[in-house]
Structure 1
Amino acid sequence: MPEYLAPGVYVEETSFRAKSIEGVATSTAGFVGQARFGPVAGAPQLVTSFEEFQRYFGDSQDLVLTEGLTTNHLAFAVRHFFENGGKRVYVARIFNPPAGQDADDARASSAALSVLGADRFIRARFPGRAGNVVVRVTGTRSGNLLTGTAPNRSLAGVRPGDLVESNNSAAKDRVVAATGAQALTANALWAVSLDATGRPVLTGASGTLDLNAAGLVSVQKVTLALLVQPNGDGSTGDRSDNHAGLSPHQDSEVFIGRVLRHEDHDAGVGPPPDRTNRIFFDAGTLPTTAAQRAEFAGGLAAALISASPITLTGGVDGRLADSELFAGEGAGHEATGLVALEEIEDIAIVAAPGGAALEDDEAQLVRGAVISHCERMRYRFGIVAGPSDADSAAIREARGQHDSTYAALYYPWLVVPRPSGLTGETLLLSPEGAMAGIYARSDIERGVHKAPANEVVRGILRFSRPVNKGEQDVLNPEGINCLRFFEGRGNRVWGARTMTSDPEWTYINVRRLFIFMEHSIDRGTQWAVFEPNNETLWLKIRLTVESFLYDVWRSGALMGTKPDEAYWVRCDRSTMSQSDLDNGRLVCLIGVAPTKPAEFVIFRIGQWTADASIV
């Protein structure tokens, strides 16, 4: 209560309405799988388009694994996710290094760049053949930075750590190689620092440069530009990256070792590294004194330019992942696989593209890992698939290995054209990515209460096996959602059941609707924790939840022609005992009547005569 200690007029703000509950997003997906490049641990990467996925994780070309060429299931799943209406997906890449190696050993690296007796390298930021690139380094110079006239010359447009080159008519400091490329000599370069008065001065290996020297013509700023290109072996597609305006001096904000640094290199220095960078500069232990720094800057610039083009080799895609890698382990920055997805609260749909392509036992374990993840996290729903060559008997066997209300199984696989577009060549892909996109599309266009079925599957040629009505009559009651082709209506999803034997949770939309409501109420009522547990709080809770459920009913997600038929909320003495109150428990009971899909649409038609009546 506010204190009133002196006479006066007091104006206070108050609220006369219940707190509102905002519905959580249900269309954000989380994928786990193998890719050609990208981070292999830590926070999953959010991507909002397939082009963005390619910048982080490489293109959709086959993985060159120890076992041989393997379809890039994760890349295709992300592509189909966006083609079918998805908007946001978090990607957690998994990597299985070659036998006897770790992930760092599978990164591409250049030959050593010898600078001042120490070894410097340019390395790929992440493991994978996509790190086998060619780096072309060029030096770039800006205009004259000298201002004023002798004896009052000064510098303009420089910052501490910038590197500049002097042009002295008495001693040519710029060297042009026979090839026409500009090379830099150490004694021509000077580092910008500040003197005791805060004015910029130039220091180098030979001391401090006199700006008023008679032979000094100009001082030009020097930066490096790195062009990162594919190395020609088909490992990186057509992507090229350009990093311009980098400084070879460690005091600069754009020092090459700071901008292009490894995720764990110089931790806490500068902004977080850009995960789209395919390379980083391994600077090792840097010099500490001003003279050494200046000499290091000149030597580094000369070494990089003279070594250009720099070829990175040794990057490999590793081995085929197993179920343990899909399940993941660790915590925080070291988390991998499905474990890495646990820290992202927004994820509502989970899949493991590529898991269904493993051997039968491993594929079963991956499906089980996805299901366990969703059940443990409570507010997520999993999408899984059976073997690529499964017939009705095999898919029924795969379905019989699991029983969960938090996942759905789809059959058969998808047939798509190869990325190269070669005539007649196709690929078999599991349907998880396309189905996650259809879930997202249905949620956005209609709402989570609409079953994600009778929807067109986009971006495919056909299904791997034709499923007829007789076959689906056997599969549908067992919770196997069939993908079917209908003449004149295209390729469609023709099932909306979960993988459960519990008739209360037969339908996907019912489970996902409850996930949506539970998560929204959970997030929207956190304000009630530690509030006085009395009738005032109970009333606020009832009004808050009823207001939310009213909006859910109006959206068509609940049955009934009026709110009383659609839901009820109780939070009073009838839901809590004195023991509950003594132990700090507030119990609120909520009942809702969800809509269920019209899975069987039946029209009864009979003959009648003019004098007949309908009983």
Structure 2
Amino acid sequence: MPEYLAPGVYVEEVSFRSKSIEGVPTSTTGFAGLTRFGPVQYAGGPSSTEPRLITSFTEFERVYGGLEPLQIAGDERVNYLAHAARAFFANGGQRLYVSRVFTDNNSPPTPDPASAHTASLQVTLSDGSKATWRARWPGAYGNALVDVRLSRSKNLAFKYSADPSDILNRASWGVQLQRVKNGSVIELIRPLPADLSTLPKSNDPLTESRLYVVSVDSNGQQRFYSSAGGPAAALPDDLGNMQVYLVEMAVQVYADNGRLDSYTELAAHPDQHRHIGKVLEADHPEDENAIVWLDWTPDLTTDPFAPARLMKALRDAPKRLAGGNDGTAVPGPASFEGADADPDHAEVKATGLKALGEIDDIAIVAMPDMSGFASDDLIIDAAGRLIAHAETARYRIAVVDGPKNSSITQIREFRGKFDSSYAALYHPWIEILDPLVPTAPGIPPRKLLLPPSGFVCGIYARSDIQRGVHKAPANEVVRGLTRFEANINKPRQDVLNPEGVNCLRFFEGRGSRVWGARTMSSDPEWKYVNVRRLFIYLEHSLDKATQWAVFEPNNDRLWKNIRQTIEDFLLVLWRDGALIGEKPEQAYFVRCDRSTMTQNDLDNGRMICLVGIAPSRPAEYVIFRVGQWTADAKA
């Protein structure tokens, strides 16, 4: 309560309206699976391993690599997750979180980064010390080519001229050196060659005897360290007989899919703003999608000339990183499920599906690699873990792929293993033209079979954006395919549909469509995908928007505010067509009063609100009854 302690005018803000509920997003999707590159937890690696939000397939390629197959244990494996991401965005998806899985035989990360399938390249400096280029993440994609080039600024040495018309030579030598910051590397060429055309070009090799590292103390005093040792207070002043260059680096990183990353104006001293170790560091590089980082920790107190040694060594060293690979075994279902974060060790982050569980926005989850396991038992195990994840998280639904090349009997047996309203099964697989193989005249194009989850998740998102979560994500066109793996006709769907297998079908003149919207539940109340997702949307929105009510006085004023808040939200849903009923009173009710709470509830701090809605269910069977009509018959 406000306090009024002295006479005066008091202006106070009060609210005369109920709180509002903002609906949560329903189209944000999460994938867990194998990729060629990207954030993943391994010992000695970067700490920022959380699933990355991706908003386009171009961004996916920069973060997680391209569509090229994975090479695991010497075997080529289709990069299902990358193709699923491509299909997701092609079919209308807009926001995708990716949790990369990379663990051999479900074992914990190895302690040595060099043995964690991470590419590296060691560079030896002239004093015998080492600097190492490392890929930020494990995978063969990290075997990049790193080209370090030099840039020499124009001559820093000028003769002083008292003639004010001599603009080019008005600056003195001292003024020029003040522009050179602490840690800069300069190259001094003295005496000048007779043929000035032989002066070094920008990327010519460095000669250590010509190099100096500038040191500036707190008083602005400059000293110049050379390879010979101790500092010099000044450089030679015969300006007419020498050239002085400021030397900087540029790094170009080439990946195997044509990607080129360029970083310019780099320095070699840690005090420099664009120190190469800061711009290209493990945890927080200038480019968060950088492929490589430089592992170098010099002792500049004992060797202040080290930055010049590093520049020369990086420029002259081999360029190709090596040792990166995609693993020696395919991770099992336990690795896809992942592990929770360790609350006692901040550096141990959640992995796999568990990492997606920490992201509140995700409403749809899938594991496109699930059906690529070698045995049916592993596929069933992985599907069970995916469904359990959706049920545990409560506010999301799992899109499950059936096994590849499944017959009607096999897909029915697979479906019979599960019973959950938080999952939906889609069949069959989808054939596309392989985007990695260009078409050529006279040569049949190469085809590729993909699990349907990537396409379906994109259709979920598209339907949500265009119509709303209450619209069943069915009778929607599937984009980016040549055909379905199997032809599902009406008699076959008559068998599959009642059992909760959502079929993908081709209709002449109407294209390829999703032709089912059922969950994997035996409970008729939760038979339809859109009904389950509507309740997920409503429950999650209420959960987030009513947190303000915790610890408020539990009385009639609070109950009325809660009722009005929820009724306002449900009225909008009814107007959007999510609820059935000619009047709002027929579509929903909200009760929060003495009829929903006993005195015991009040004594124990419980406020209970009862919300009932009448969700709209899809017109799965459209029936027209036609009969004969005679001219003199009365209606």
Q: TM-score, normalised by structure 2?
A: 0.89
Corresponding residue for residue 248 of structure 1: 268
Which amino acid is 2:532 matched to? R
Alignment map for 1:62-73 (pairs within 5 Å): 62-66=69-73, 68-73=75-80
1:201 and 1:351 map into 2 onto residues whose CA distance is: 61
Corresponding residue for residue 32 of structure 2: 32
Equivalent residue for 1:228, pick from 242, 253, 257: 253
- Distance 1:98-1:569 versus aligned 2 partners, 3 A rule: closer
Corresponding residue for residue 391 of structure 1: 407
Structure 1 residue 288: Cα displacement: 3.6
Equivalent residue for 1:336, pick from 351, 354, 366: 351
- Distance 1:273-1:138 versus aligned 2 partners, 3 A rule: closer
2:431 and 2:186 map into 1 onto residues whose CA distance is: 58
Alignment map for 1:25-424 (pairs within 5 Å): 25-41=25-41, 42-66=49-73, 68-97=75-104, 102=110, 104-105=114-115, 106-145=117-156, 152-169=174-191, 181-198=203-220, 202-204=224-226, 205-208=229-232, 210=234, 213-215=237-239, 217=242, 219-230=244-255, 236-263=256-283, 271=284, 274-283=287-296, 285-289=297-301, 292-293=303-304, 295-307=305-317, 309-318=318-327, 319-331=329-341, 333-358=348-373, 359-419=375-435, 420-422=437-439, 423-424=444-445
- Distance 1:74-1:151 versus aligned 2 partners, 3 A rule: closer
* 2:518 is the counterpart of 1:497: yes
4+ runs deviating over 6 angstroms:
98-101, 174-180
Which amino acid is 1:246 matched to? L
**Contact 2:412–2:496 under 8 Å retained in 1:** yes
- Distance 1:3-1:475 versus aligned 2 partners, 3 A rule: same
- Distance 1:190-1:494 versus aligned 2 partners, 3 A rule: same
Structure 1 residue 171: Cα displacement: 9.7
- Distance 1:180-1:146 versus aligned 2 partners, 3 A rule: closer
Equivalent residue for 1:463, pick from 479, 484, 497: 484
Moved more, 576-585 or 590-599: 576-585
Corresponding residue for residue 516 of structure 1: 537
**Contact 1:184–1:298 under 8 Å retained in 2:** no
2:456 and 2:58 map into 1 onto residues whose CA distance is: 20
Which amino acid is 1:31 matched to? F
Look up the SS of the partner of 1:612 in the other structure. coil
Look up the SS of the partner of 1:383 in the other structure. strand
Structure 1 residue 178: Cα displacement: 10
1:109 and 1:185 map into 2 onto residues whose CA distance is: 26
Structure 1 residue 180: Cα displacement: 9.4
**Contact 1:38–1:275 under 8 Å retained in 2:** no
2:85 and 2:172 map into 1 onto residues whose CA distance is: 64
2:531 and 2:53 map into 1 onto residues whose CA distance is: 28
Look up the SS of the partner of 1:310 in the other structure. coil
- Distance 1:282-1:452 versus aligned 2 partners, 3 A rule: same
**1:415-466 C-alpha deviation (Å, 9 max, x unpaired):** 0111213433101100010100000000000000000000000011110000
2:551 and 2:75 map into 1 onto residues whose CA distance is: 59
Gaps of 5+ in 1: 231-235, 264-270
Look up the SS of the partner of 1:334 in the other structure. coil
Look up the SS of the partner of 1:398 in the other structure. helix
2:79 and 2:287 map into 1 onto residues whose CA distance is: 24
1:150 and 1:89 map into 2 onto residues whose CA distance is: 58
Structure 1 residue 104: Cα displacement: 4.4
Look up the SS of the partner of 2:477 in the other structure. coil
2:192 and 2:445 map into 1 onto residues whose CA distance is: 70
Structure 1 residue 8: Cα displacement: 2.1
Corresponding residue for residue 539 of structure 1: 560
2:509 and 2:358 map into 1 onto residues whose CA distance is: 44
Look up the SS of the partner of 1:30 in the other structure. strand
- Distance 1:176-1:533 versus aligned 2 partners, 3 A rule: farther
Structure 1 residue 115: Cα displacement: 4.6
Moved more, 340-349 or 117-126: 117-126
* 2:21 is the counterpart of 1:12: no
**1:82-110 C-alpha deviation (Å, 9 max, x unpaired):** 00000010011111348999474211122
2:21 and 2:491 map into 1 onto residues whose CA distance is: 46
